[in-house]
């Protein structure tokens, strides 16, 4: 075959050129990251390293970047490197250079040189000259040399101390003082942005591909800045609130070990601990999961050592007691995690003999009885007993005994020779499920009643975690104040809003998407829901105060707060639910109709399950908004700033059966009482300065952030569950 069409994409010079360009890209990323960390004060810009100012190193880094970018442009234009630049970089880049040089030179001339307005007049022609040269020069020159000159100029200004951390700028038109410790990181980040874009374009040889590379890197750096802001927010709140939140925290080593083992088992069950079997971004996640798993294993070993040693360990206001007793509340959590893992890993037991089916039915009845009685105790807040015998523990221990006997039969069968397992004995996964259900129910019984089971190794109903900040009331008699009443109030308000808004929004979305014609009515609904979502929260609060409060007890209450926040959540869930249902392919509906399935059955079994990830996404976003709302709660909740008792919503339900319609009377006075919430209490502490130190407010902020993230986590887990169901 002729080699007339063979083309060498790069030569040896081009390879070196690309290596230099990628090195400059990496340096730009490093400069941008360092600027962001200095902006967030993670690196002290006014500090010193080996006798030199930290700002001097920033300036030197910018000088090196600028020089390298200039070399890339010169090599492309006159160094014989094979690139494909266009004739001009374009008017947009020229305008950017004009604005950039005008602002920079004008600010320095007017403030540092003391020229005032004349300095700004000087900056305009300099910016115009740079912009014009950028427009008329070939792309490889105009995309690199102006950027190199700007980065070097900033580097010289910072290195020579013209702009130092102690430097200030006081614009005459604004009542503000802009310090150098803010300007230097910002200039470093801007220099990193432009240097990265130029070097990425040079790496791709300029032209269309180079501009795409530069735009991609620019967007990546902006995304990195966004993530940095989020990380800074979390770290900022964490470092100010963690001390007061963890003060006097005491944890039993047995409970902590149980939680660590459950987390490690969940991580192993996810199957992401082997980076060798992963590709792409999954490999990075596998390395992260492996690191987390290793840390959990080390923590578990340390907790086991504490138990064996028999001595408590203290550090950072936290004490770990060497007890093997498990707290009831953590036991419920760990048992639920174990049940979820078993459900995913096993197939249901379908016995083939009549005796086996009888055993299966009996076990289902026993498990159902356990669950029903446990929830009855949870609702009534007391222990169910017949003839002085507690119902829940009796059933649970009976089921646990059956599970132990079945496990013993399995073990005996394995040890015996030429023995097969009887057909009526449930398999080991089903036996494990029975034992876990019994464990969860006993732990839930311990949470409700406070009863303990077992001795040195058992379940402690009162708990083995003593967390004063989370468990104490705001005006308790303990060592410090706590946020328990406000935390419980926040959870009940958000849950009530979700229960009220989500079914209503999904039902409206089903009608508007599946039944209503596309008409002016549906268009009006779209406009109304979008307008309702953008309505300020204080308007919802005023509506609740003027309309809902007089109709529900004529007093601010939890129930009115739930309705108000539900009205705020409703439009977003409706909008996202409609869009999710519209995205379900019509082929799904047509295939269901072709099988003779009715329209409602199609909606119930096809459309709604397929749109559930979108519905849950809307609920997640809405919960993130309403959980932190303060203005409506000031009007419709209006409880004490520091309550000394949590609202007893579950225990407040009363059910009366009468002979008059509606025959069944359900009431809950606790829902019509005033209460507090974390945003409400936070406002009282931080803004109004009522009743507590600022550190208490930061601790409350951290707890509120944790509550919101917990709701996010539950929503994300639900969304992943429905997505996995769709792909089965």
Q: List, for residues 168-179, the tens digit of each pLDDT value.
A: 777 666 667 778
Contact (CB, 8 A) for 157 and 163: yes
268 or 653: which leads in pLDDT: 268
Residue 454 host element (H or E): strand 453-454
Per-residue pLDDT, 444: 84
- Give the contacts of 131 (CB within 8 A, at least 6 positions apart): 94, 95, 97, 98, 101
Most confident of the ranges 454-463, 473-482, 639-648:
639-648
Contact (CB, 8 A) for 119 and 106: yes
Per-residue pLDDT, 476: 46
Angle of CA points 712, 716, 721, to nearest 5°: 150
- Give the contacts of 280 (CB within 8 A, at least 6 positions apart): none
DSSP conformation letters of 15-62: HHHHHHHHHHHHHHHHHHHHHHHHHTTSS-TT-EETTEEHHHHHHHHH
637: exposed, middle or buried (C-beta count within 10 Å: 0-12, 13-18, 19+)? buried
Provide the 3-class DSSP secondary structure of residue 174. coil
The average pLDDT across 496-506 equals 91
User: Mean of the per-residue pLDDT values for the chain?
Assistant: 81
Q: How many CB atoms lie within 10 A of CB 388?
A: 5
Per-residue pLDDT, 5: 38
Predicted confidence band of residue 247 (pLDDT cuts 50, 70, 90): confident
Rounded distance, CA 604 to CA 472, Å? 45
Rounded distance, CA 499 to CA 127, Å? 59
Contact (CB, 8 A) for 487 and 476: no
Per-residue pLDDT, 57: 86
Predicted confidence band of residue 564 (pLDDT cuts 50, 70, 90): very high
Contact (CB, 8 A) for 140 and 83: yes
- Give the contacts of 680 (CB within 8 A, at least 6 positions apart): 486, 630, 633, 634, 637, 639, 641
Contact (CB, 8 A) for 188 and 174: no
Contact (CB, 8 A) for 431 and 410: yes
Reference 452, options 570, 326, 540; nearest CA is 326
Res 167 pLDDT > 90: no
Contact (CB, 8 A) for 43 and 34: yes
Per-residue pLDDT, 233: 84
Per-residue pLDDT, 115: 66
Res 75 pLDDT > 60: yes
Predicted confidence band of residue 567 (pLDDT cuts 50, 70, 90): very high
Per-residue pLDDT, 336: 85
Q: ω into residue 662 within 30 of 0, thus cis?
A: yes
Cite the DSSP H helix spans in 537-674. Answer: 537-543, 558-582, 586-594, 599-602, 608-626, 631-636
Res 490 pLDDT > 70: yes
Predicted confidence band of residue 11 (pLDDT cuts 50, 70, 90): very low
Q: List, for residues 362-388, the tens digit of each pLDDT value.
A: 888 888 888 888 877 776 767 777 777
CA distances from 152 to 193, 490, 565 (A): 14, 53, 54
Res 315 pLDDT > 80: no
Reference 225, options 45, 46, 54, 35; nearest CA is 35
CA distances from 55 to 45, 65, 154, 421 (A): 6, 15, 12, 76
Rounded distance, CA 263 to CA 334, Å? 9
Rounded distance, CA 60 to CA 156, Å? 8
Predicted confidence band of residue 477 (pLDDT cuts 50, 70, 90): very low
177: exposed, middle or buried (C-beta count within 10 Å: 0-12, 13-18, 19+)? exposed
pLDDT above 90 coverage of the chain, percent: 7
Res 403 pLDDT > 50: yes
Rounded distance, CA 245 to CA 457, Å? 29
Per-residue pLDDT, 248: 83
The average pLDDT across 2-6 equals 41
Contact (CB, 8 A) for 465 and 248: no
Query: What is the phi-psi region of residue 179: left when phi exceeds 0, alpha when psi lies from -120 to 50, beta otherwise?
Result: beta
On the CB side of 571, CA atoms within 13 Å amount to 19
Q: List, for residues 596-639, the tens digit of each pLDDT value.
A: 888 888 888 888 888 888 888 888 888 888 888 888 988 898 88
Per-residue pLDDT, 7: 37
Rounded distance, CA 612 to CA 525, Å? 21
DSSP conformation letters of 66-98: HHHHHHHHHHHHHS-------S---HHHHHHHH
CA distances from 344 to 172, 270, 273 (A): 67, 11, 18
Q: How many CB atoms lie within 10 A of CB 523?
A: 10
Predicted confidence band of residue 8 (pLDDT cuts 50, 70, 90): very low
Res 361 pLDDT > 50: yes
- pTM (two decimals): 0.77
Q: List, for residues 667-685, the tens digit of each pLDDT value.
A: 778 888 888 888 888 888 7
Rounded distance, CA 677 to CA 703, Å? 11
Per-residue pLDDT, 2: 42
In three state form, how does the secondary structure of 569-593 look?
HHHHHHHHHHHHHHCCCHHHHHHHH
Give the N- to C-terminal CA distance of the chain in Å, as an integer: 51
289 or 321: which leads in pLDDT: 321
Rounded distance, CA 271 to CA 292, Å? 13
């Amino acid at each position: 075959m002729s080699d007339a069409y063979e083309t060498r994409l790069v030569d040896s010079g081009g390879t070196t050129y690309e290596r230099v360009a990628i090195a400059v890209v990496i340096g730009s990323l490093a400069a941008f990251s360092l600027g962001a960390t200095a902006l967030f004060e993670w690196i002290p810009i006014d500090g010193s390293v080996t006798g030199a100012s930290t700002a001097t190193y920033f300036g030197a880094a910018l000088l090196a970047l600028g020089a390298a970018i200039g070399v890339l442009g010169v090599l492309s234009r006159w160094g014989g490197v094979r690139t494909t630049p266009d004739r001009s970089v374009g008017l947009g880049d020229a305008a950017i250079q004009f604005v950039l040089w005008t602002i920079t030179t004008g600010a320095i001339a007017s403030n540092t040189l003391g020229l005032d307005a004349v300095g700004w007049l000087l900056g305009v022609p300099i910016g115009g000259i740079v912009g014009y040269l950028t427009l008329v020069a070939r792309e490889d020159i105009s995309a690199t040399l102006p950027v190199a000159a700007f980065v070097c100029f900033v580097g010289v200004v910072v290195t020579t101390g013209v702009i130092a951390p102690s430097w200030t700028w006081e614009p005459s038109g604004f009542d503000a003082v802009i310090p150098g410790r803010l300007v230097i990181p910002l200039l470093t980040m801007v220099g990193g942005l432009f240097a990265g874009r130029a070097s990425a374009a040079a790496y791709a040889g300029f032209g269309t591909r180079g501009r795409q590379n530069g735009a991609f890197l620019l967007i990546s750096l902006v995304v990195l800045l966004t993530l940095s802001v989020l990380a800074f927010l979390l770290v900022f709140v964490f470092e100010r609130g963690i001390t007061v939140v963890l003060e006097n925290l005491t944890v039993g080593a047995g409970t902590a070990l149980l939680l660590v083992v459950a987390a490690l088992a969940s991580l192993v069950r996810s199957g992401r601990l082997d980076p060798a079997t992963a590709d792409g971004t999954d490999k990075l996640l596998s390395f992260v999961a492996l690191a987390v798993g290793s840390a959990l294993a080390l923590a578990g070993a340390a907790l086991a050592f504490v138990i064996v040693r028999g001595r408590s360990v203290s550090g950072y206001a936290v004490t770990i007691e060497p007890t093997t007793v498990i707290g009831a509340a953590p036991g419920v959590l760990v048992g639920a995690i174990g049940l979820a893992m078993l459900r995913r890993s096993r197939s249901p037991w379908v016995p083939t003999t009549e005796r086996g089916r009888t055993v299966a039915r009996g076990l289902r009845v026993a498990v159902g009885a356990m669950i029903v009685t446990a929830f009855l105790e949870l609702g009534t807040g007391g222990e169910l007993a017949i003839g002085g015998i507690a119902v829940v523990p009796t059933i649970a221990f009976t089921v646990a005994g059956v599970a132990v006997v079945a496990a013993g039969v399995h073990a005996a069968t394995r040890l015996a020779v030429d023995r097969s397992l009887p057909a009526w004995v449930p398999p080991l996964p089903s036996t494990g499920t029975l034992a876990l259900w019994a464990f969860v129910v006993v732990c839930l019984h311990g949470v409700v009643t406070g009863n303990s089971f077992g001795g040195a190794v058992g379940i402690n109903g009162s708990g083995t975690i003593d967390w004063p900040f989370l468990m104490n009331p705001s005006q308790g008699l303990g060592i410090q104040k706590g946020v328990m009443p406000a935390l419980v109030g926040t959870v009940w308000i958000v849950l009530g809003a979700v229960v009220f808004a989500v079914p209503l929004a999904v039902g409206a979305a089903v009608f508007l998407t599946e039944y209503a014609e596309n008409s002016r009515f549906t268009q009006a609904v779209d406009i109304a829901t979008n307008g309702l979502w953008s309505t300020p929260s204080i308007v919802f609060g005023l509506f609740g105060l003027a309309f809902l409060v007089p109709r529900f007890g004529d007093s601010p209450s939890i129930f009115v707060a739930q309705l108000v926040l539900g009205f705020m959540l409703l439009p977003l869930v409706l909008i996202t639910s409609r869009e999710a249902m519209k995205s379900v392919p019509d082929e799904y509906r047509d295939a269901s109709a072709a099988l003779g399935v009715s329209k409602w059955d199609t909606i119930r079994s096809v459309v709604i399950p397929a749109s559930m990830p979108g519905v849950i996404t809307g609920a997640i976003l809405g919960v993130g908004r309403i959980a932190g709302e303060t203005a409506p709660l000031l009007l419709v909740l209006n409880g004490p700033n520091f309550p000394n008792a949590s609202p007893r919503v579950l225990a407040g339900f009363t059910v009366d059966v009468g002979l008059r319609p509606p025959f069944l009377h359900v009431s809950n006075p606790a829902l019509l009482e005033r209460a507090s919430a974390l945003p409400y209490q936070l406002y009282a502490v931080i803004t109004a300065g009522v009743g507590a130190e600022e550190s208490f407010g930061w601790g409350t902020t951290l707890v509120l952030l944790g509550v919101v993230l917990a709701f996010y986590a539950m929503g994300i887990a639900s969304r992943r569950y429905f997505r996995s169901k769709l792909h089965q």
